[in-house]
């Protein structure tokens, strides 16, 4: 028998690739952090001698969920300024609060809190867009969590960088520091067209071509953003990005609530990935991303939570349900974004947004063993008829029992063996007191 590191048996496996398949009584073989095989349980037991053997029982095993857009340090601002539209929320509350507390400790503590929450909800990777990407990357690496950290670019000073040149210099140092890291990769993360100038975008285009990494950008988040841009320049922001040479397969366009049919076709032709953040958009009344139209045109649509300050959680299982239901209402079609499509948005599409579709997002031999087990024996899950529908329409993050990243178990029976939750909570309370006092 062939020795391997890990064998996971499950009553049901939802591999995502091939699409729309659920396998009964299968097992996943893992060695050196990678998936060796996905095969029937009986064959696996005859072929492999695992050093660790996990029998999940009445559960479904699927790829680890991928949060394709988040600002994880903002877990420390969860609920700070609720029930406000985007512009006053951001300009009058969030940015001033960040200006008072932004720094290494704030970012590290917020990311640790986010990692604990994401692991408990089945998320194994995130596409991060925030300041101090060096601290974010180091913190995720220390906890064995997969991340693509964005190199931030914005046209005003922050605690991370004071000038345009410093943003680029420090960002490139981060890229170099994590080059070849097995868990931490990088993207270029200009904030938005309304906060980044043409000169910076031109440098980003040049770096994109040199480094071969994604460009992670808030784009067409609200109708007001689009109208303001058109009044100021005569161009919609998407049109401006086209003129600057940034609309191609490397572009990860977040929110995209205001899109014409022509822009949707341009996204499809160029290979743009759109990241949909339904709950954040609903809470801020930012608009509705035309997900069904995008998918029908062949555009890859991934799923993100956005930050906790505007969501207010990092629950991708809940986000799948919201995305599926909202898409039906917006399209006026109950068939829009069915359960399998929602799961793909939270797995393989998110992997593409991170630039990691060859490594994660599905259960296939050769890919990293980023896996999540969801229990189906809870009272809230009874009875069930369709595994995918059960996860999306009746599932809850409390049903997540186990999580592996690169073959290492990070959540075991609902517990986080490698994290000090009491310390994380104590630090979160101290930040609440500091932020609330001002």
Distance of CA 48 to the CA centre of its chain: 33
Do 88 and 220 have their domain in common? yes
Domain end point (choices 306, 325, 353) = 353
Each residue's pLDDT tens digit, 356-410: 999 999 999 999 999 999 999 999 999 999 999 999 999 999 999 999 999 999 9
Do 223 and 123 have their domain in common? yes
pLDDT of 145:
98
* Residue 438 reports pLDDT greater than 70: no
Q: How far is CA 403 from CA 34, 56, 125, 373, in A?
A: 14, 12, 11, 6
431 within a domain of the structure (yes/no): no
Do 182 and 109 have their domain in common? yes
* Residue 157 reports pLDDT greater than 90: yes
5/64 Cα distance (integer angstroms): 19
Measured in residues, the chain has a length of 438
339 within a domain of the structure (yes/no): yes
Q: How far is CA 86 from CA 125, 222, 314, in A?
A: 26, 8, 19
- Report the CATH number at residue 247: 3.20.20.140
pLDDT of 293:
98
253 within a domain of the structure (yes/no): yes
Q: What are phi and psi for residue 194, nearest 5 degrees?
A: -85, -5
199 within a domain of the structure (yes/no): yes
436 within a domain of the structure (yes/no): no
Each residue's pLDDT tens digit, 181-219: 999 999 999 999 999 999 999 999 999 999 999 999 999
Q: What are phi and psi for residue 30, nearest 5 degrees?
A: -130, 135
Each residue's pLDDT tens digit, 241-298: 999 999 999 999 999 999 999 999 999 999 999 999 999 999 999 999 999 999 999 9
Own/partner long-range contacts of 178-181 (Cβ < 8 Å, ≥24 apart): 178/137, 178/149, 181/137, 181/141
Each residue's pLDDT tens digit, 296-342: 999 999 999 999 999 999 999 999 999 999 999 999 999 999 999 99
Do 116 and 203 have their domain in common? yes
295 within a domain of the structure (yes/no): yes
Do 259 and 384 have their domain in common? no
Do 114 and 173 have their domain in common? yes
Do 45 and 78 have their domain in common? no
Do 89 and 173 have their domain in common? yes
Going by C-alpha positions, the residue among 64, 59, 58 that lies closest to residue 30 is: 64
pLDDT of 87:
85
Domain that holds residue 28: 2-63+368-411
Q: How many CB atoms lie within 10 A of CB 223?
A: 12
Percentage of the chain exceeding pLDDT 70: 100
Structural domains in the chain (count) = 2
- Report the CATH number at residue 29: 2.30.40.10
Do 167 and 185 have their domain in common? yes
pTM for this one? 0.97
On the CB side of 312, CA atoms within 13 Å amount to 9
Percentage of the chain exceeding pLDDT 90: 97
């Amino acid at each position: 028998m062939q020795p391997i590191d890990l064998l996971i048996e499950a009553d049901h496996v939802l591999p995502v690739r091939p699409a729309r398949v659920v396998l009964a009584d299968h097992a996943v073989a893992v060695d050196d952090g990678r998936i060796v095989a996905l095969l029937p349980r009986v064959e696996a037991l005859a072929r492999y001698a695992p050093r660790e053997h996990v029998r999940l029982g009445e559960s479904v095993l699927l790829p680890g969920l991928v949060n394709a857009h988040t600002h994880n340090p903002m877990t420390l601002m969860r609920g700070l300024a609720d029930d406000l539209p985007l512009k006053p929320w951001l300009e009058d509350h969030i940015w001033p609060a960040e200006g008072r507390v932004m720094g290494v400790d704030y970012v590290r503590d917020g990311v640790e809190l986010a990692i604990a929450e994401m692991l408990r909800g089945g998320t194994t990777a995130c596409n991060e867009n925030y300041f101090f990407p060096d601290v974010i990357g180091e913190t995720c690496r220390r906890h064995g969590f997969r991340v693509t950290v964005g190199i931030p670019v914005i046209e005003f000073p922050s605690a991370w960088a004071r000038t345009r040149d410093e943003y680029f210099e420090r960002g490139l140092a981060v890229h170099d520091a994590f080059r070849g890291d097995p868990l931490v990769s990088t993207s270029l993360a200009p904030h938005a067209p309304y906060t980044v100038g043409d000169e910076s975008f031109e440098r980003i285009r040049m770096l994109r071509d040199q480094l071969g990494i994604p460009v992670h950008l808030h784009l067409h988040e609200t109708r007001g953003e689009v109208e303001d841009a058109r009044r100021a320049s005569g161009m919609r922001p998407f049109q401006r990005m086209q003129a600057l040479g940034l609309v191609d397969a490397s572009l990860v366009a977040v929110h995209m609530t205001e899109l014409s049919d022509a822009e949707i076709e341009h996204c499809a032709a160029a290979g743009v990935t759109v990241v949909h953040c339904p709950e954040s958009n609903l809470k801020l009344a930012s608009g509705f991303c035309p997900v069904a139209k995008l998918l029908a045109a062949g555009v890859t649509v991934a799923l993100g939570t956005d930050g906790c300050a505007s969501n207010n959680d990092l629950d991708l299982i809940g986000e799948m349900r919201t995305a599926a239901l909202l898409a039906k209402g917006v399209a006026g079609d109950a068939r829009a974004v069915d359960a399998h499509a929602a799961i793909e948005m939270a797995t393989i599409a998110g992997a593409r947004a991170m630039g990691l579709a060859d490594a994660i997002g599905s259960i296939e031999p050769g890919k990293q063993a980023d896996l999540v087990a969801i229990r189906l024996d809870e009272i809230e899950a009874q009875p069930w008829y369709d595994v995918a529908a059960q996860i999306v329409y009746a599932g809850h993050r409390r049903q997540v029992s186990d999580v592996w990243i690169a073959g290492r178990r990070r959540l075991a029976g609902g517990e986080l063996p490698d994290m000090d939750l009491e310390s994380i909570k104590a630090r979160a309370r101290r930040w609440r007191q500091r932020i609330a006092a001002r």
